[in-house]
Structure 1
Amino acid sequence: MKKLFLAVALAAFLPAVCEAATLEFPSDEPIASITIPDSWGPKETASGIDATSDDSAVYLSIDVADDKSSDKVIEDVFAFLDKNGVKIDESSQKESDGELNGMPVKNLDWDGTDKEGSVNIGLSILSPGAGKLLLVTYWGSKGTQEKHQSELIEMISTLKPAG
């Protein structure tokens, strides 16, 4: 995930995302927006949005939280991964800090496994405004996720505060 955010700078040199819409979420009171290709099947969830690559190699979700709900939302992220058979290797944790479109970012990355084999897992915490958080969850299958790297870079480069 760290490489993903660092590579966002390259997105300016990539072709535009085809057949994609910019989604503002949550729809009733937008906090942020992102452009995701239609082929990823983006949809609004109870706490944000999610999308999966057409070959299911990569899952991406962005959940909205505030100071009071952030712990619960993070618990829900890990419960979702566990429910889907994702096992995190805690000893592989890497942390980094950065910035994306003016938002401070804290990245946590791990290696792990799922029913298909080895995976990368990432959780990035961004702050689009005072008291608001975006929790970006990434889960990608090693060996097949790489072909989606340019799409991911382009999508993440469009993540920004609503308004």
Structure 2
Amino acid sequence: MKHTLLAATLVLTLFPALAPAGTVKLPEDKPAATVNIPDSWEPEKSDDGILAESADNVATIYLEVVADEKQMDSVIEESLKWLTEDHEVKVDAATKETKDFEDSGRKWSRISWSGESKEWGPAVIGFLFTEVGNGKVLTITYWISKKDSEKSLETLGKIFSSVKSVP
């Protein structure tokens, strides 16, 4: 028994990606959705949502629930302003892509651009949206470095697939 527990602890220490993911509620006080985020991404609560970053700093996501499409548009505008003005990120407007898709039975919309910063280099910057009930929309803002992005794509897919509406 002790050997099994020791082996499990060792595996989880050596391979943090295998560690169980923590379920976060959005918003925390009156949840409209839950999402599983690996503990290694160290999710942090803020006033409006959850910020999480891959251990290698390749991917950053910010999750929040908004009341309607007007608020969703405001989130996009504020996030792009924050990136370009506060962090000197250059967003290439000509690379804008939009896509609607389905994952694990959930309908999503995506808007993304290529961007670049002196500090982080080239990246994909975007927003994912999915309705979580009662007109509310889960908004995921993301930044994924183009260098080494494949390291985080599988985990990001699992995070996005884990979204569940709270009745």
TM-score (norm 1): 0.81
Inter-partner Cα distance in structure 1 for 2:54 and 2:75: 23
The residue correspondences of 1:120-159 to structure 2 (distance < 5 A) are 120-159=124-163
Q: Report matched runs for 1:4-153 at 5 Å.
A: 17-67=18-68, 69-82=71-84, 83-115=86-118, 116-153=120-157
- Partners of 2:143 and 2:159 lie apart in 1 by 15
CA RMSD after TM alignment:
1.8
The Cα shift of 1:47 comes to 1.4
Alignment length (residue pairs): 148
Structure with greater Cα Rg:
2
Deviation per CA, 1:128-154: give whole Å up to 9, x if none: 113211111110111122111111111
Q: 2: CA distance between counterparts of 1:162 and 1:80?
A: 30
Deviations 1:42-88 (A, max 9, x none): 02222111101112111011121112533332222223322233221
Post-superposition, which runs of at least 4 consecutive aligned residues in structure 1 deviate over 6 A?
Answer: none
Deviation at 1:93, TM superposition (A): 0.8
Letter in 1 for 2:87: N
Q: Aligned equivalents of 2:145 and 2:77: distance in 1? A: 22
- Partners of 2:99 and 2:18 in 1: how far apart? 27
Report sequence identity in percent: 35
1:103, 1:128 within 8 Å by CA — same for their partners in 2?
Answer: no
1:93-113 deviations in Å (ceiling 9; x for gaps):
111112344443211121110
Q: Structure 2 CA distance, aligned partners of 1:119 and 1:100? A: 23
Q: d(CA) in 2 for partners of 1:146 and 1:90?
A: 24
Contact 1:90 1:110 in 2 (8 A): yes
Structure 2: gaps of 5 or more residues: 1-16
- How far 1:155 moved relative to its partner? 1.2
Q: Residue 69 of structure 1: SS of its match in structure 2?
A: helix
